[in-house]
Structure 1
Amino acid sequence: MFRSRPRKRALRIFFATDIHGSERCFRKFLAAAQSYEADALVLGGDIAGKGLVPIRADNGTFTAQVRGETVAVPRADEQRLRDDINRLGFYSVVADDESVERMSKDARFLDEAFRKAIIEQIEAWCRLADERLAANVRILITPGNDDPLAIDPVLKSAPRIECPEGELCELGPVLMASCGDVTPTPWNTEREFSEDELGGRLAKMLDQVPPGRRVVVNFHCPPYGSGLDFAAELDETLKPVIRSGRPSIIPVGSKAVRDAIKKYQPVVGLHGHIHESRAAQQIGKTMCLNPGSDYTADVLRGAIVDFADDGSYIDFLFTSG
């Protein structure tokens, strides 16, 4: 009996997603290049935080509304308060009484401050990547549906970051096709499309793949009914639906993404969006992965994926740390 020789690794990707503004998770993401000997880091969407929490400074006391509760700390604990807010996926800004009051009443003013905080953080992250990564490590960051469109030019203009959103990108022995768009959600974010529209956007990219080239898809939305897309069913008030005394869990992924995977058969699908649905599933010849997200616990969940020099998929390993 003859055994085939093990395929030599030509490319190792470390993939993570849905860190929602977590400073600690982003630093862990950069450190993964050395820890896991990755050739390329891929951050697959929803990198921005979920909102902005104003902190009122008054006579050495810092006060903020955190999860509906008033939290007050002395000046010495300001950073701890801001770290706690960041851990929940939010930004914070210290403001005077007038600005805090205006943010509570003027949604547009609050949104402008929120978007400013997002862009400032991403610009800082781009600089940090330049400082910390070895020159031979590639870093690719693409947006997700929770990321405002305003971040795209920031990522694309950063000299150390690659942002191939909506494009095919050469990545060693494979091509990577990236799309941060999703099907409609209850939150009406900026990158939502109908199944037909999303299918058209995916086909526009994948139809350009030269015959014989192996492809990795970096699609933020997971394929429907794949086990990568299970989430709680919500009612019209965004509360979990209870059936038979238990929360109802349903597939919420995209049928267009699943159809594209079945038609084009990429070697690997990298997905996110549904934090609680960490899973791997083979669809035809495609290994689809969702490493999940646990950023509120300061835990970076990821996936190491290895490829041979002909672009074929070798193996994967989920990570947590």
Structure 2
Amino acid sequence: MKILAVSDLHGDIKPITRYLQENKADLIIIAGDITHFGPPELVEELLNEISSFGIPVMAIPGNCDPESFHVKIDQSQATNIHARNVIIRNIGICGFGGSNPTPFDTPLEFEEVQIYDEAKRAIEGIEGQEITLFITHAPPYNTKTDLLPSGSHVGSKSLRKIIEEVQPTLNICGHIHEASGMDKIGSTTVVNPGQLSHGQACLIQIPDASGAEEIKTEIIKL
């Protein structure tokens, strides 16, 4: 399975539509900030345009998406995986959108206790799967993926705790544009693809045969 994972679209989907015109993918995962503070109707419009390529799309909201995102994504052709889980063959996928509190009072922020309770409940539904993908907008705390240029780590401590406890195969996140990169928490690979509106994305190759090869994860420029 070939998965294209992106985050932080901020209303600009041109990089992904150009890519899909010339390249194939089996699944598209969007890790939040589909819009830049709305409007709510734009969420549905953008997701439907990406879905028009005939490839399944799974998405979560970011902290810069309007609170009504949940309704709009359910009305689109994409699958909403915020605080939900989906199983495709031997692959379990779950998500949690928005972010831990920021200094900017953005539309979709959650207290750490709510992040832990709801995201943990979602990931528990896929624990028995051979491969597990944990899709979050906020990165886990104290990794290369949540590091500001100032040297401060601003990710979610609850998401890190969940990853330490459950050890999903992959955590795909976003939110911190300057922290595109990969890291490890135990056996979990953490990937922040970077800002799609700047052409950054992540390509995930999952072998079809169980145990045939290792999963390959690569940050690419679209």
- Structure 1: 5+ residue runs without aligned partners? 1-10, 51-114, 233-247
More strand by share: 1
Deviation of 1:126 (Å): 3.8
State the Cα distance separating 1:42 from its structure 2 match: 1.0
Residue 198 of structure 2 corresponds to residue 277 of structure 1: no
TM-score normalised according to structure 1 size: 0.63
User: 1:265 maps to what in 2?
Assistant: 167
Partner in structure 2 of residue 49 of structure 1: 36
Partner Cα separation in structure 2 for residue 184 and residue 120 of structure 1: 25
Give the TM-score, by structure 2 length.
0.89
Q: Return the alpha-carbon distance in structure 1 between the equivalents of residues 171 and 42 of structure 2.
A: 28
Kept after mapping to 2: 8 A contact 1:142/1:165: yes
Q: How many residues align?
A: 220
Please identify the structure whose Cα radius of gyration is greater. Answer: 1
**TM-superposition CA deviations, 1:245-285 (whole Å, max 9, x none):** xxx32111111111111111111110100000011012111
Aligned-pair distance for 1:220?
Answer: 0.9
Q: Select 2:5's aligned residue among 3, 9, 15.
A: 15
Contact 2:40 2:66 in 1 (8 A): no
Query: 2:40 maps to what in 1?
Result: 119
Evaluate the alpha carbon distance shift between residue 183 and residue 123 of structure 1 in structure 2; reply closer, same or farther with a 3 A threshold.
Answer: closer
Q: Which residue of 1 aligns with 2:121?
A: 204
Describe the superposition over 1:105-138 as per-residue Cα deviations: whole angstroms up to 9, x where unpaired. Answer: xxxxxxxxxx5xx23323332442354x03xx21
The answer for unaligned runs of 5 or more in structure 2 is none
Match of 1:86 in 2: none
Maintained 8 Å contact 1:173/1:308: no
Identical pairs, percent: 24
Q: How do 1:99-110 residues align onto structure 2 when only pairs under 5 Å count? A: none
Q: Report the aligned-residue RMSD.
A: 2.1
Inter-partner Cα distance in structure 2 for 1:210 and 1:254: 21
Give the C-alpha shift of residue 212 in structure 1: 4.5
What's the CA shift for 1:294?
A: 6.3
Q: Counterparts of 1:156 and 1:289 in 2: how far apart (Å)? A: 26
Task: Report the counterpart of residue 77 of structure 1 in structure 2.
Answer: none
Q: 1:18 to 1:211 in 2, by over 3 A?
A: same
Partner of 2:148: 231
Q: For 1:93-242, what aligned pairs fall within 5 Å after superposition? A: 115=38, 118-131=39-52, 133-134=53-54, 137-158=55-76, 160-232=77-149
